[in-house]
Structure 1
Amino acid sequence: MSATAEQKLPPYAQVVADIRARIDARELRPGARVPSTREIMREWGVAMATATKALAALRQEGLVEAVRGVGTLVRDAPVATPQARGPQGQRVRPRPAEAGGGRPTTETAITREAIVRAAITIADAEGIDGLSMRRVATHLRVSTMALYRHVASKEALATAMIDQVYTEHALPEPPPADWRRALELALLTEWDIYRRHPWAVRLTMLAGAVQSPGLVENAEWMMKVITAQGRSPDEALAILTFVSAYTSGMALQATRAVVEEYEFGMDAEHWWRSRGPEFLRIAEQGRFPLTFSVSGPPDVHAIFGLGMKHLLDGFAPLIEGRGGSPQDLTAEP
């Protein structure tokens, strides 16, 4: 493409063309990290929205993929075929639906389970906002309509995803006899789900949560543990709401599913370190001596365990029916 023709492109398309040219010229080889949104903003002088749109376009072309905790990387080049040439012999890029991973034998070979697992893989790498039926179809290298034969909508897909991860982390039956040990197991299991799948926290909080058999079964298990101590179902749900809010809130602190648009999977430690220069500039002002006297980023995983211990200490009188009134949990203010 000539310089004159490239200048006529929208700003995001110019960025796409430049990065595509680097990939074609092997300046950026498979597995290499492409510029981040901030780097694109600095190098091309564009806004954040333009930079994120450019990375989205590159992903849709199948040229790059977001890798959790690493960044956006160049994908392995698709296998060249004689059909990958235009009528004048020019190279023709595969359509997005051809740019994903291994292609099933036929679209009829696609299963609901394969769709759900592909969606989980995408959400793990790119966040729930990067998920769409079209994106899943691109990953599986089938038409979008092929997905709708198995999943009615994106909302139904999100429900199936939550059901899958909670089913894979099903709590044991019967629960441990000791209520405290049982609730610790349940909270640590949910904590592990959120660390493996940071997007899940946005779908499982009570406000606007999806409802799936796996998720409801998890709640039923915990309520069974609490009601075994003599609490009513309403009281058990109130306690469950408290402890689940703690787990989801800590999960939001522990993992940033989206640090910048289309830069995914950066955990708390990486986020703190990535902001080092910014923190240094603030520290040099000398206004926050306590904040900048800490030895390093907090160990959120260790803090979660400590907080869980004290949280259950606080709830012990209510759960065991001593030194407090369980009815206070459900009383009108």
Structure 2
Amino acid sequence: MAGTGEPPYLRIAAEIRRRIADGRLKPGDRVPSTRRIAQEWGVALATATKVLTRLRQEGLVEARPRVGTVVAPPASAAPVTPSATSATPAVIPSATPSVTSAGGPQRPAGQPDAEMSRDRVVRAAIELADAEGLDALSMRGVAARLGVATMTTYRYVASKDELVLLMADAAFGELGYPEEPPAGWRARAERAARTLWAVHRRHPWLAQLNSLFRPLPLPNLLAHGEQLLATLEDLGFDVTAMMDLQVVIYSHIQGLAAHLEREVLAEAATGLSEEQWMEQQGPALGSIAATGRYPAFARVMAGLERDGYDLDLDRLFELGLRTLLDGLAALAAETGLHPPS
């Protein structure tokens, strides 16, 4: 291992680099998340973020949404020399920076931040949240990802809270709608719901942000709501019913999407995949079923043991959407509103 005088993030990066070099971590394998690094080596999340940033800058790892940080294909990896473990991280995308006394990288004196912008800061933050979860987000971590001093990010975003709002608005704005809507209320409702689901699939951390009681004033989020509200209005529902039904449809999407982020965090915290966790819990669930107190549960467990079960959130989204829209059509018909088409 590198000398004890090195910063902790360089020593940890060297250890992960060795695991890649000797084949313990192969291309496509997940490397330890920031949370796992913090737990395994007893360092702060900010230090763990610098580890992954360093390895990413070397081309050894890459972030994949909803998967995490994985070992990069060999073709994209840069050669690593023995001295590379103690070199200063390279600035993205230009020259090697000096290091401040606080340990953060900064550009050499006189070099402008011409390529820096609010959009770059927001994009880097979204990539970090996509790969590591919203809990791993910090201004220091975003700065490390960009290869700049932490204070540099504050020139473009005043606080982490402001950054999260900018991230959310940018993410919700990635998928829009053509000016000409599809024919029929159901097709319009399906398009709006599926678009919003696709956004949450891209960015699972979004499900953590928006409370029904405290909705975020984000223009790009309202663009999705506008699609649903306009559809419900065309059906003839009053404003209270419009809001209620929009909340029900949005909650279906948000409720499922919340489990995408939770599973990423649970796997990072426990080190167990979904299958491994179920294997561990199997005996306990079997014991509960064997008590006879829950006969329907016991029958379901027996059937699943025989036939298996695939928890597919995309399938559940479509099932829930179809059920909700069938109910919406029935409700419109019962109340004598605009006949469904």
TM-score (normalizing by structure 2): 0.70
Q: Which of 296, 312, 331 is 1:299 aligned to?
A: 312
Shift of residue 164, structure 1, vs aligned partner: 1.4
Offset, 1:206: 2.1
State the distance in 1 between where 2:239 and 2:44 align.
48
Kindly report which structure 2 residues correspond to 1:1-333, keeping only aligned pairs within 5 A, or say none.
19-20=12-13, 22-23=15-16, 26-29=18-21, 33-34=30-31, 50-51=39-40, 53-54=42-43, 56=45, 57-61=47-51, 62-63=53-54, 67-68=64-65, 70=67, 72-73=69-70, 92=86, 94=88, 98=89, 102-103=93-94, 106-254=112-260, 256=262, 258-260=264-266, 262=268, 271-282=273-284, 285=287, 287=290, 288=298, 290-291=300-301, 293-294=303-304, 295-318=308-331, 320=332, 322-324=333-335
Tell me how far apart the structure 2 counterparts of residues 184 and 171 of structure 1 sit (CA, whole Å): 12
Contact 2:267/2:274, CA 8 A, preserved across alignment: no
- Kept in 2, the 8 Å contact 1:55–1:262? The answer is no
2:67–2:131 contact (8 Å) kept in structure 1: no
1:37–1:260 contact (8 Å) kept in structure 2:
no
Q: Cα distance, 1:20 vs. partner?
A: 4.8
Aligned counterparts of 1:325 and 1:185: Cα–Cα separation in 2: 25
**Aligned-partner Cα distance in 2 for 1:292–1:100:** 57
Map of 1:87 onto structure 2:
none
Give me the whole-angstrom Cα distance separating, in 1, the residues matched to 2:225 and 2:33.
Answer: 40
Report if aligned partners of 1:124, 1:198 keep a CA contact under 8 Å in 2.
yes
In 2: Cα distance, 1:38 partner to 1:300 partner: 25
Provide the residue aligned with 1:330 in structure 2: none
Cα 1:282–1:100, aligned 2, differ >3 Å: closer, same or farther?
A: farther
Deviation at 1:140, TM superposition (A): 0.8
* Offset from partner CA, 1:235-273 (integer Å, 9 cap, x none): 311210111111111222455353338569x9xxx9432
Conservation of the 8 A alpha-carbon contact between 1:205 and 1:248 = no
Alpha-carbon distance in 2 for matches of 1:156, 1:37 = 23
Work out whether residues 128 and 199 of structure 1, in 8 Å CA contact, stay in contact via their aligned partners in 2: yes
The code of the aligned residue for 1:290 comes to V
Q: In the aligned structure 1, how far is the partner of 2:122 from the partner of 2:128?
A: 10
Inter-partner Cα distance in structure 2 for 1:211 and 1:128: 19
TM-score where L is the length of structure 1 = 0.71
SS in 1 for 2:334: coil
Secondary structure at the counterpart of residue 236 of structure 2: coil
Q: Give the deviation of 1:218 after TM superposition.
A: 1.6
Range that drifts further, 185-194 or 73-82: 73-82
d(CA) in 2 for partners of 1:158 and 1:201?
13
Residues 1:186 and 1:63: Cα distance change in structure 2 (over 3 Å): same
Query: Which amino acid letter does the alignment assign opposite residue 284 of structure 2?
Result: I
Q: Distance in 2 between matches of 1:243 and 1:28?
A: 45
State the SS of the aligned residue for 2:235: coil
Cα shift at 1:312:
0.9
| Structure 1 pair 228–38 and aligned structure 2 pair: CA distance change class (3 A) | closer
Q: Is the 8 A contact 2:67 2:264 kept in 1?
A: no
Compared with structure 1, are the counterparts of its residues 33 and 165 closer, same or farther at alpha carbon in structure 2 (3 Å cutoff)?
A: closer
> 1:33, CA displacement in angstroms?
4.8
Q: How far did residue 27 of structure 1 move? A: 3.9
Q: 1:250 to 1:150 in 2, by over 3 A?
A: same
| SS of corresponding position for 1:107 | coil
Q: Whole-Å Cα distance in 1 between the matches of residues 157 and 35 of structure 2?
A: 36
Deviation string 1:31-59 (CA, Å, 9 cap, x unpaired) is 5654679998xxxxxxxx84385483333
1:118 and 1:139 in contact (8 A); partners too: yes
Report how far residue 308 of structure 1 moved.
Answer: 0.9
Query: 2:175 and 2:157 mapped to 1: Cα distance?
Result: 23
Distance 2:302 2:93 in 1: 49
Report the number of matched residues: 292
Give RMSD over aligned pairs: 4.0
C-alpha separation between the residues in 1 aligned to 2:36 and 2:148? Answer: 33
